[in-house]
Amino acid sequence: MKDRLFIDTIVMLDLLGERDPYYNSAAKIATMADKGKITMVVSALSFPTVFYLLTRFEKKEVVKEKLRKFKVISETSNLSDRIIEKGLTSNFSDFEDALQYHCALQNDCNLLITRNVKDFKKSKIPVLTPDEYLKSLIKR
């Protein structure tokens, strides 16, 4: 069965912002998605967040093009009323993390990929960093 990875905003930002030292691992995961080996799912919330942060350093059209290309290789999870309600009533200390987590569950993701693993301690699905995920593939 092909992995369905929920990609947290920070990993998307690492990839599209080409942020060292995190870029290479994020790029390897994106390449796997592009080749159809995995499915990447991201929250609709991640797109405006990444746009806002990257346009502080790059031109808006450049960032839009990066987002367009990323959209081709990923699925987008909607932020429904149900997900927002679950986020508001969850025991996550960070609301944005709660939304990301519930988007992952809603979209049947079997792994959540983030650099902030500690923020997802209450997760019912495995949470890995990009590096940990790539290392886990070697063991399979």
How much is the average pLDDT of 98-126? 96
Domain boundaries, the chain: 4-139
4-139 CATH choice from 3.40.50.1010, 3.30.70.100, 1.10.760.10, 1.10.3720.10: 3.40.50.1010
Question: Do strands 74-77 and 4-7 pair parallel, antiparallel, or not at all (unpaired)?
Answer: unpaired
Q: Is the pTM of this model over 0.85?
A: yes
Give 60-93 pLDDT, tens digit per residue: 999 999 999 999 999 999 999 999 999 999 999 9
pLDDT of residue 24: 98
Which pLDDT band, with edges at 50, 70 and 90, does 122 fall under? Answer: confident
Q: Give, as one character, the DSSP assignment of residue 75.
A: E
Q: How far is CA 122 from CA 10, 36, 64, 100, 110, in A?
A: 19, 30, 34, 13, 15
CA–CA dist 22, 115 (Å, integer): 9
CA–CA dist 114, 112 (Å, integer): 7
Assess whether pLDDT exceeds 80 at residue 15.
Answer: yes
